[in-house]
């Protein structure tokens, strides 16, 4: 452990890097747009009136702060550490994704952009982007893989109701990574009037920083809530990791609080050993994709491998560069949960607590399901309950052999 | 003098350079080799050979499908190097440029420059490696005299251009439009002014690519640059299974620009 370094933790650096990870690996045409975004962001980060505007929308439009909830019955059932849930599922639109889009849409307006685009996997980021676009009267185009459009039909319709245009992407694996390719293609073509709202702590600099900062409201609130609720910071914080935005949001304010253990849970699919998964931090190699250097699922020729996960939101072959760095320095521990483990936890939480979690979130729950019974009752675990599971009912029903 | 310098030295005889882009292994390795040799025979001065990638972010639909066709044939990086070697055996003079995405080049790790040199490759174009990220990559290639061809776009300002020119070699590739390969080229005058500006800042040759699909456009673009790149239209013939038409098309371009 190189924890000594953490007191000066200040990433990304001037080059937009987290150690060797991150950077700006994009075509020349996009460099100017990224530099403009960086310039504006550096300015608004210090601009009190801008920050006030963000906070106002987070409070009145999103419904923050989200509660810290003690999962009493589930805790009893597992018979070990006390389990708390940070209820991001109660946000407007049902997930943490709105924390980022509320901020980025204000950035877009600041830059005078009239049109926003976004990629989406599960549809949560697409819905969150369509929502803030409606709220501010901006044109909104969402790119979504053909396969995801099929498994997330409800969210597709929601986006359309909100006035967004949903573009079906039928290239490559027809999922999140291909939606991101297509969004990049649109951005390079319409770079002058369009802001690309990336939905995860991924992509070229300054996106990993921007998305982390807007989501870190989750960790900041938790610091206050945990002190109030149980008089100290949590012993363990657990979050699921696809691109990694909900995890960075809750981890970031705790990076220097080294008494708190941080655990990210990737999508293990049919099991990491099976090769059918979406867990680049557990079983990937360093490479470059979507503007960033990070861990990727790839073959020996550098071709990106197709991924598998029951949850569309984790079905991504890469991961945010800050996670890659936090993994390498050992500050965050990365685990994985399989489809089956996640599905079981989905049912457990629904029946035990009356809270239906998103399938993405269910991966974090599955890990806690495994470790909580082994820990003493004096320990506290906080799970970032990043989203609600309404959107997943068709998938779960299908897995359970039912037709709705 | 490098092969690239020799080709561009024709400038003294006022000949413009025709650069063609095809994807290695599209539709298969054998045909790919035949197409490349036909291109040389029909007047191509420089071969840009695309390295197929699973996520070709800067390509329009036509070239995306070419990447997919090549990957379906399970083409490996070593196959591409072999292809270059075979072209080189038959032709000692034509410059060969590999064009692709960073992750493909990274897969060869520190052997990259040496392997490229041994395969007779003269330069590389890495679509998603902007100047800012390229320092060590540029230096590694330099050790084996491989040129890193820079892409310059309509959004590159003159301050940035100046910095880029300090570490450029071979030639410069001006991307004529904001967009993806095969898109519609609309504003000739803007391209003309930008190319003139670039040429006033450097002695390196400037070729123009993206959106050039016919002889008249090629002629216009060549009138103020050192050459042109054509890719999508050639690959369109491959997609439509009319490869025999490539030769005449290439000849018509060559004639138009000179």
The pLDDT value given to residue B15: 87
Q: What's the CA gap between B175 and A99, in Å, rounded?
A: 37
Q: Which of B64, B76, B128 sits opposite A27 (nearest CB)?
A: B128
| Nearest residue to A119 via CA among A186, A211, A22, A62 | A186
Backbone angles phi, psi at A267, to 5 degrees: -85, 110
Provide the terminal-to-terminal Cα distance of chain B, rounded to the nearest Å: 24
Neighbouring C-beta atoms of residue A216, cutoff 10 Å: 18
In sequence order, which residues have a C-beta less than 8 Å from that of residue A304 and are 6 or more positions away? A177, A289, A296, A297, A298, A317, B54, B55, B103
CB contact at 8 A, B16 and B228:
yes
Provide the terminal-to-terminal Cα distance of chain A, rounded to the nearest Å: 50
Half-sphere exposure of A394 toward its Cβ, with a 13 Å CA cutoff? Answer: 11
- Cα distances from A225 to residues A194, A229, A365, A386, in angstroms, run 38, 6, 20, 17
B82-108 residue pLDDT tens: 999 999 999 999 999 999 999 999 999
B44-82 residue pLDDT tens: 999 999 999 999 999 999 999 999 999 999 999 999 999
Judged by CB atoms closer than 8 Å, whether chains meet at B153 and A181 is answered as no
The pLDDT value given to residue A4: 60
Element (H, E) at B172: strand B172-175
The verdict on whether A171 is a catalytic residue reads no
The pLDDT value given to residue A152: 85
A207-228 residue pLDDT tens: 999 999 999 999 999 999 999 9
The SS3 call for residue B244 is: coil
A196, A303, A304, best to mutate vs chain B, most B CBs in 10 Å:
A303
Pick the residue from chain A with its C-alpha nearest to B59. Answer: A185
The pLDDT value given to residue B11: 54
Q: How far is B54 from chain A (nearest CA, A)?
A: 5
Residues paired with residue B170 on neighbouring β-strands, in sequence order: none
B25, B52, B58, best to mutate vs chain A, most A CBs in 10 Å:
B58
Q: Which of B71, B107, B178 sits opposite A29 (nearest CB)?
A: B178
Q: What's the CA gap between A133 and A117, in Å, rounded?
A: 10
A302-317 residue pLDDT tens: 999 999 999 988 999 9
B53, B62, B155, B185, best to mutate vs chain A, most A CBs in 10 Å:
B155
Judged by CB atoms closer than 8 Å, whether chains meet at A188 and B133 is answered as no
In sequence order, which residues have a C-beta less than 8 Å from that of residue A95 and are 6 or more positions away? A88, A89, A124, A128, A246, A358, A386, A387, A388
A127-142 residue pLDDT tens: 999 999 999 999 999 9
Question: Which of chain B's residues have a Cβ under 8 Å away from the Cβ of A204?
Answer: none
| Nearest residue to A388 via CA among A360, A348, A347, A351 | A360
Neighbour-count burial of B26, counting CB atoms closer than 10 A to its CB (0-12 exposed, 13-18 middle, 19+ buried): buried
Q: Which residues of B touch A (CB under 8 A)?
A: 53-58, 60-61, 64, 68, 71, 76-77, 101-107, 127-133, 150-157, 160, 175, 178-180, 183
Pick the residue from chain A with its C-alpha nearest to B176. Answer: A29
Question: Which of chain A's residues have a Cβ under 8 Å away from the Cβ of B175?
Answer: 27-29
B176, B178, B194, B209, best to mutate vs chain A, most A CBs in 10 Å:
B178
Half-sphere exposure of B242 toward its Cβ, with a 13 Å CA cutoff? Answer: 9
Q: What's the CA gap between A80 and A77, in Å, rounded?
A: 9
Q: How far is B148 from chain A (nearest CA, A)?
A: 14
Give the confidence band of A1 by pLDDT, cuts at 50, 70, 90.
Answer: low
For the segment A339-362, the average pLDDT, to the nearest whole number, is 98
Judged by CB atoms closer than 8 Å, whether chains meet at B155 and A26 is answered as no
**ipTM of the complex, rounded to two decimals:** 0.95
Judged by CB atoms closer than 8 Å, whether chains meet at A288 and B102 is answered as yes
Question: Which of chain A's residues have a Cβ under 8 Å away from the Cβ of B23?
Answer: none
| Nearest residue to A320 via CA among A203, A168, A228, A214 | A203
Q: Which residues of A touch B (CB under 8 A)?
A: 15, 23-33, 171-172, 177-178, 181, 184-185, 188-192, 287-291, 296, 298, 300-304
Question: Which of chain B's residues have a Cβ under 8 Å away from the Cβ of A303?
Answer: 53-54, 71, 104
Neighbouring C-beta atoms of residue B102, cutoff 10 Å: 23
Token readout for A97 is: 């994704």
Q: Which of B104, B131, B179 sits opposite A301 (nearest CB)?
A: B104
The verdict on whether B48 is a catalytic residue reads yes
Segments of chain B scoring below 50 in pLDDT: none
Pick the residue from chain B with its C-alpha nearest to A170. Answer: B61
Q: Concatenate the DSSP letters of all residues of B71-136 into one string.
A: HHTT--HHHHHHHHHHHHHH-SSS-EEEEE-HHHHHTTGGGHHHHHHHTT--EEEETT--GGG-HH
Judged by CB atoms closer than 8 Å, whether chains meet at A25 and B106 is answered as no
Among A97, A113, A177, A293, the one annotated catalytic: A97
Pick the residue from chain A with its C-alpha nearest to B63. Answer: A171
Pick the residue from chain B with its C-alpha nearest to A182. Answer: B57
- Give the CA-trace dihedral at A22, A28, A33, A34, to 10 degrees: 10
State yes or no: pLDDT of A6 exceeds 80: yes
Backbone angles phi, psi at A80, to 5 degrees: -135, -125
State yes or no: pLDDT of A2 exceeds 70: no
The per-residue pLDDT of chain B, averaged, comes to 95
The per-residue pLDDT of chain A, averaged, comes to 96
Among A38, A86, A88, A119, the one annotated catalytic: A119
Question: Which of chain B's residues have a Cβ under 8 Å away from the Cβ of A192?
Answer: 178
- Cα distances from A322 to residues A29, A180, A222, A240, A332, in angstroms, run 25, 19, 21, 15, 10
Q: What's the CA gap between B69 and B62, in Å, rounded?
A: 11
The verdict on whether A97 is a catalytic residue reads yes
Judged by CB atoms closer than 8 Å, whether chains meet at B102 and A25 is answered as yes
CB contact at 8 A, A219 and A253:
yes
The pLDDT value given to residue A403: 86
Among B5, B59, B68, B239, the one annotated catalytic: B59
């Amino acid at each position: 452990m190189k924890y000594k370094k953490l007191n000066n933790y200040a990433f990304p650096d001037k080059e937009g890097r987290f150690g060797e990870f991150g950077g700006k690996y994009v075509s020349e045409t996009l460099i100017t747009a990224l530099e403009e975004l960086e310039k504006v962001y550096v300015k608004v980060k210090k601009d009190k009136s801008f920050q006030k505007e963000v906070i106002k929308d987070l409070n009145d439009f999103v419904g923050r702060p989200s509660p810290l909830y003690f999962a009493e019955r589930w805790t009893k059932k597992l018979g070990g550490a006390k389990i708390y849930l940070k209820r991001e599922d109660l946000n407007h639109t049902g997930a943490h994704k709105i924390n980022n889009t509320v901020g980025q849409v204000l950035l877009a307006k600041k830059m005078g952009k009239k049109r926003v685009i976004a990629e989406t996997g599960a549809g949560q980021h697409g819905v969150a982007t369509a929502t803030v676009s409606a709220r501010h009267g901006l044109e909104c185009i969402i790119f979504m893989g053909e396969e995801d459009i099929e498994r997330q039909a409800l969210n597709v319709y929601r986006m359309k109701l909100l006035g967004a245009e949903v573009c079906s992407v039928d290239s490559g694996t027809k999922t999140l990574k291909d939606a991101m390719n297509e969004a990049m293609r649109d951005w390079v073509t319409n770079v002058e009037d369009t802001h690309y709202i990336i939905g995860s702590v991924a992509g070229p600099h300054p996106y990993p920083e921007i998305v982390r900062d807007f989501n870190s409201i989750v960790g900041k609130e938790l610091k206050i809530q945990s002190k109030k609720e149980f008089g100290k910071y949590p012993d363990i914080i657990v979050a699921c990791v696809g691109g990694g935005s909900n995890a960075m949001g809750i981890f970031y304010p705790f990076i220097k609080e080294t008494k708190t253990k941080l655990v990210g849970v990737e999508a293990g699919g049919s099991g990491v050993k099976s090769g059918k998964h979406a867990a680049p931090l557990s079983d990937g190699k360093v490479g470059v994709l979507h503007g960033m250097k990070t861990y990727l699922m790839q073959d020996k020729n550098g071709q990106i491998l197709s991924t598998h996960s029951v949850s569309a939101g984790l079905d991504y072959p890469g991961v945010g560069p800050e996670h890659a760095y936090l993994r390498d320095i050992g500050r965050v521990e990365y685990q994985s949960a399989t489809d089956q483990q996640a599905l079981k936890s989905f049912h457990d939480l629904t029946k035990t607590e009356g809270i239906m979690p998103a399938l993405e979130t269910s991966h974090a729950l599955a890990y806690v399901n495994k470790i909580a019974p082994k820990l003493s009752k004096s320990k506290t675990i906080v799970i970032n309950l990043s989203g609600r599971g309404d959107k997943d009912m068709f998938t779960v029903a299908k897995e359970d052999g039912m037709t709705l | 003098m490098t092969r690239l310098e020799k080709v561009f030295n024709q400038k003294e005889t006022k000949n413009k350079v025709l650069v063609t882009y095809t994807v290695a292994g599209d539709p298969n390795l054998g045909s790919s080799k035949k197409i490349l040799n036909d291109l040389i025979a029909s007047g191509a001065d420089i071969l840009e050979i695309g390295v197929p990638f699973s996520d070709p972010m800067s390509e329009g639909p036509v070239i995306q499908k070419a990447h997919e066709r090549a990957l379906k044939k399970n083409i490996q990086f070593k196959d591409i190097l072999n292809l270059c070697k075979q072209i080189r055996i038959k032709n000692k003079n034509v410059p060969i440029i590999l064009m692709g995405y960073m992750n493909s080049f990274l897969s060869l790790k520190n052997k990259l420059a040496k392997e490229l040199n041994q395969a007779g490759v003269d330069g590389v174009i890495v679509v998603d490696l902007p100047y800012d990220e390229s320092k060590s990559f540029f230096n590694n290639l330099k050790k084996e005299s491989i040129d890193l061809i820079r892409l310059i776009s309509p959004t590159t300002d003159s301050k940035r251009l100046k910095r880029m020119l300090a570490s450029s070699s071979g030639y410069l590739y001006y991307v004529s439009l904001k967009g993806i390969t095969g898109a519609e080229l609309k504003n000739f005058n803007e391209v003309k002014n930008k190319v003139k500006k670039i040429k006033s800042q450097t002695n390196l040759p400037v070729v123009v690519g993206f959106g050039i699909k016919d002889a008249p456009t090629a002629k216009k673009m060549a009138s103020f640059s050192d050459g042109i790149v054509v890719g999508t239209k050639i690959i369109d013939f491959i997609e439509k299974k009319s490869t025999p038409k490539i030769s005449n098309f290439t000849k018509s371009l060559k004639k138009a620009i000179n």
